[in-house]
């Protein structure tokens, strides 16, 4: 199976200046025997990125938003993944859809409240945290 994990992150939260703080999202993809194995490989990759790059420098918090499981990539028709719609100012909430299609849109509202992501009004669960 192919697994795609979507993550939100906050970095450099130890900085006093707002312009030095960063937040965003990223995806990881892996072929694995099951979802648990995929999550373990995601964790290994994040730890490797922390040690060997500056992607998650300083104080960093990483939130696991969801896991997509795909038997195969489509060959006849492209599959839409990770549609995102942002209205107005970047501090505003945005709508994110994992795999929108005719049957379901899978959309959720994402917002950052007090430097923590909120999904459909609920606090996101912390996946990994690094302290400098």
pLDDT at 45: 94
pLDDT at 88: 64
**Is 104's pLDDT higher than 60?**
no
**Is 30's pLDDT higher than 90?**
yes
List the structure tokens of 101. 């299609």
- Sign for the pseudo-dihedral over CA of 36, 124, 127, 47: positive
pLDDT at 101: 59
pLDDT at 48: 93
Question: In this predicted model, what pLDDT tens digit does every residue of 49-84 receive, in sequence order?
Answer: 999 988 888 888 999 988 888 888 778 888 777 777
List the structure tokens of 127. 């996946």
- pLDDT category of residue 98 using cuts at 50, 70 and 90: low
Mean pLDDT of 18-37: 86
């Amino acid at each position: 199976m192919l697994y795609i994990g979507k993550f939100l992150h906050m970095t450099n939260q130890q900085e006093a200046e707002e312009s030095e703080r960063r937040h965003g999202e990223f995806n990881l993809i892996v072929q694995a025997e099951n979802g648990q194995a995929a999550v373990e490989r995601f964790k290994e990759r994040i730890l490797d990125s922390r040690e060997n790059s500056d992607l998650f420098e300083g104080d960093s918090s990483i939130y696991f938003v969801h896991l997509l499981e795909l038997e195969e990539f489509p060959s006849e028709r492209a599959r839409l993944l990770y549609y995102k719609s942002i209205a107005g100012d970047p501090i505003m909430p945005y709508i994110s859809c994992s795999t929108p299609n005719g049957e379901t849109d899978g959309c959720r509202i994402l917002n950052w409240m007090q430097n923590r992501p909120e999904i459909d009004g609920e606090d996101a669960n912390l996946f990994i945290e690094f302290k400098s």
